[in-house]
Structure 1
Amino acid sequence: MSTHEPTADDVVGAAEAIVDAFAANDGDRYFARFAPDATFCFYAEPSRLNDRATYERLWRGWIADGWRVKTCTSSNQLVQTFPGGAVFTHDVATTVATADGEDSTRERETIVFRFDGDRLVAIHEHLSPAAG
């Protein structure tokens, strides 16, 4: 494991790659930014997703049901670095299309990164509804 500290630009770039892939509905590119052992806490799901494969199965089900991201924007970004990784928090505004129409959400998200070789990969994502 790397013990050097990433720059804020490294972290923002890694987070933007995740948001961009999500907004493009590009599951392959999106999931490639997460470690296989990454965990996910989504308030709309009944339990924690304990690895990337579990989330990938859930994603494929959403897609099969007609779910698609229309827009996803990140704002109010904060980067906290530490030797070997970082914590990235931001506000996320997302609009998705579903079989029932469109749905827009405002959420807060935390993504924890660690180095895998020379690149940052996400090892944990936590999503919660934004207040107000």
Structure 2
Amino acid sequence: MNLTRDEVQAAAQRLVAAFAATDTEAYFGAFAEDATFVFHTEPARLESRSEYRSLWEGWTAEGWAIESCTSTNARIQLAGPSAVFTHDVHTVAGTPGASEETRERETIVFVRTEDGAVLAVHEHLSPAPAASEDVAA
């Protein structure tokens, strides 16, 4: 069954809201078990949800948390039972007393699973060039 724009938008909003709240369960619940992750801040692709979650739990154990996360300039491209969601992300995160502000571009691929859920199967995060930061602001 093909995905709809509303389904993808709702799935993306849930994922971003869970990230913004540093809600580990809800955030990782938005990804398929075999999801992959490419982050410019990591030396290699993360090959599964559990690999990323292990990294995330290491960060949060040190007190790391999201202070704010704003998504702008969203675009949804439907492709049958899958879709590509792209947006600009402005995040403030870090440990107490050591916050960092980032502006990035993100691509998330969503699919409809056999049980009908809409989950992310791939996430790619890259730094936003200065020109894109000016547009998103």
TM band (smaller chain): over 0.9
Q: What do the CA deviations read for 1:41-72 (whole angstroms, capped 9, x no partner)?
A: 00000000000000000000000112100001
Aligned length: 129
For residue 114 of structure 1, the aligned residue among 102, 111, 135 is: 111
1:97 shift after superposition: 2.6
Contact (CA 8 Å) 1:114, 1:123: kept in 2 or not? yes
Q: Which residue of 1 aligns with 2:52?
A: 55
Contact (CA 8 Å) 2:3, 2:111: kept in 1 or not? no
1:85 shift after superposition: 1.1
1:92 shift after superposition: 0.4
Contact (CA 8 Å) 1:95, 1:103: kept in 2 or not? yes
For residue 14 of structure 2, the aligned residue among 8, 17, 24 is: 17
**1:1-132 pair list within 5 angstroms:** 4-99=1-96, 101-116=98-113, 117-132=115-130
Question: Match of 2:90, SS?
Answer: strand
Structure 1 residues not aligned, in runs of 5+: none
Instruction: Give the whole-Å Cα distance in 1 for the aligned partners of 2:94 and 2:47.
Output: 26
Instruction: Give the whole-Å Cα distance in 1 for the aligned partners of 2:87 and 2:43.
Output: 23
Which moved further from structure 2: 99-108 or 29-38?
99-108
Q: What's the TM-score, normalizing by structure 1?
A: 0.94
Instruction: Give the whole-Å Cα distance in 2 for the aligned partners of 1:84 and 1:68.
Output: 33
Instruction: Give the whole-Å Cα distance in 2 for the aligned partners of 1:97 and 1:80.
Output: 32
1:99 shift after superposition: 4.9
Contact (CA 8 Å) 2:37, 2:123: kept in 1 or not? yes
1:119 shift after superposition: 1.8
Moved over 6 A (4+): none
